[in-house]
């Protein structure tokens, strides 16, 4: 194998992190996206803006605030202390939590678009056919928004894989705990190990390309079955 043990460890950590974050966001993002797609509340604008914040905020800013919040005097830190879980910064779970915030819009926005595209009519039809709201969600909304779910999952996974700034702020650089692939590359470069950096960077490049290929290749001709 042309990757060393540290690289493989970093990749494995990255995959675990991204997979976990995607799974959490599938559960968390669905109701948020549903609410944003269906609500006529005046809070829709502000909430939508908060969800989209990570798109424009420098990762270091987000990471900084999360670090404060998770610290011993922050609200999250106090909560975890109360629950006897210890401090979150510089742990894997701290990274997971931060990544959930960081990748939220990448899950919510495609889902929101998918839900909005369905419109009111199929929901009304389902209701006149005796389906309750929850039943309607699983029997009509979910199948009709499957492409949206796929897009949202791919984007969330890929975006979490690519994060760097937030990881440095929250997680630091602990091998096997918080040292993800992007940080590992940074380390290689810092240590002037250009060869190693090249290899890992190539892996990331190919991965990113494949993800985008999967995303774009699905677009045309999806009517064919």
Partner 1 sequence: MDMINARFKVDWPGFTLDLDLQLPGRGVTAIFGHSGSGKTTLLRCIAGLERAREGLLSFNGDIWQDARTFRPVHKRPLGYVFQEASLFPHLSVLDNLRYGQKRSAEKIVSLDQVVELLGIGHLLDRRPDRLSGGERQRVGIARALAVSPRLLLMDEPLAALDLARKREILPYLERLHDELDIPVLYVTHAPDEVARLADHLVMLDGGLVVAAGPLAEMLARIDLPLGLGEEREVVLDAVIGQRDPDWHLARMDFAGGSLWARDRDIPVGRHVRVRVPASGVSLALQPAGQSSIINSLPGQVEAIGDAEHPGLSLVKVRVGDVSILSRVTRRSVAGLQIEPGKAVWVQIKSAAVVE
Binding footprint of partner 1 on the chain (CB under 8 A):
121-122, 124-132, 135, 139-140, 143-144, 223
Of 5 and 40, which CB lies nearer to partner 1 in the complex structure? 40
123, 121, 151: which is closest to 135 by C-alpha? Answer: 123
Output the smallest distance, CB 143 to partner 1, in A. Answer: 4
Q: Quick one: 40 or 121, whose CB is closer to partner 1?
A: 121
CB of 124 to partner 1, least distance (A): 5
Q: Please report how close the Cβ of residue 35 comes to partner 1 at its closest, in angstroms.
A: 19
Minimum CB–partner distance for residue 138 and partner 1 (Å): 12
Which of residues 99 and 145 has its CB atom nearest to partner 1 in the complex? 145
Q: How far is the CB of 221 from partner 1 (least distance, A)?
A: 14
Identify which of residues 15 and 118 has a Cβ nearer to partner 1 in the complex.
118
Cβ proximity to partner 1, 119 vs 176, nearer residue? 119
């Amino acid at each position: 194998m042309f990757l060393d043990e540290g690289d493989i460890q970093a990749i494995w950590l990255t995959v675990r992190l991204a997979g976990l974050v995607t799974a959490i966001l599938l559960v968390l993002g669905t109701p948020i996206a549903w609410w944003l797609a269906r609500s006529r509340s005046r809070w829709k604008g502000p909430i939508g803006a908060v969800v989209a914040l990570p798109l424009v905020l420098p990762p270091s800013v987000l990471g900084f605030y999360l670090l404060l919040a998770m610290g011993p005097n922050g609200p999250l830190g106090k909560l975890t202390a109360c629950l006897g879980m210890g401090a979150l910064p510089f742990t894997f779970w701290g990274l997971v939590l931060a990544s959930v915030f960081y990748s939220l819009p990448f899950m919510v926005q495609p889902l929101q678009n998918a839900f909005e595209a369905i419109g009111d009519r199929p929901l009304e039809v389902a209701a006149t056919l005796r389906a309750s709201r929850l039943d309607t969600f699983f029997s009509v909304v979910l199948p009709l928004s499957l492409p949206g779910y796929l897009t949202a999952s791919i984007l969330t996974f890929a975006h979490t894989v690519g994060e760097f700034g937030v990881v440095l702020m929250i997680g630091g650089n602990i091998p096997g705990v918080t040292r993800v692939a992007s940080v590992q590359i940074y380390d290689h470069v810092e240590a002037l190990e250009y060869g190693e950096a090249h290899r890992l960077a190539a892996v990331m490049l190919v991965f990113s390309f494949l993800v985008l290929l999967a995303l774009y290749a699905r677009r045309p001709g999806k009517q064919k079955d």
